[in-house]
């Protein structure tokens, strides 16, 4: 019997005018190749946030969406609020 635990980003959502990237990571446990457990954890990548520790797909999406203009607009919004 082999138990394997692995993690995978299984959902990426883009929300709000500032294009926050919501990332869901699934922790999957398999017994002999059959999934027996799946749990979730979440995080949000805000415009301008360091993405070096993120999944490659998340990095690619943020690189496209989080332009300098968007980051500046978001920072101004945060300062104002």
Beta-bridge mates of residue 80: none
CB atoms within 10 A of CB 29: 14
Q: In Å, how far are 26, 37, 51, 54 from 47, measured between CA atoms?
A: 23, 33, 10, 14
Nearer to other proteins, 39 or 52 (CB): 39
Q: Judged by CB, which is closer to other proteins: 46, or 59? A: 46
SS3 label, residue 6:
strand
CB of 2 or CB of 52, closer to other proteins: 52
State the residues that interact with other proteins by CB under 8 A.
15-18, 20, 22, 24, 39-44, 46, 74, 77-78, 81
- In the complex, the smallest distance separating the C-beta of residue 22 from other proteins, rounded to whole angstroms, is 6
Closest approach, Cβ 11 to other proteins, in A, equals 8
């Amino acid at each position: 019997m082999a138990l394997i635990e692995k993690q995978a980003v299984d959902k990426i959502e883009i929300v709000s005018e500032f294009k926050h990237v919501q990332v869901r990571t699934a922790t999957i446990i398999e017994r002999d190749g059959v999934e027996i457990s799946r749990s979730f954890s979440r995080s949000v990548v805000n415009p301008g946030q360091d993405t070096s520790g993120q999944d490659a797909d998340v990095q690619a999406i943020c690189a496209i969406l989080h332009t300098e203009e968007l980051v500046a607009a978001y920072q101004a919004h945060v300062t104002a609020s």
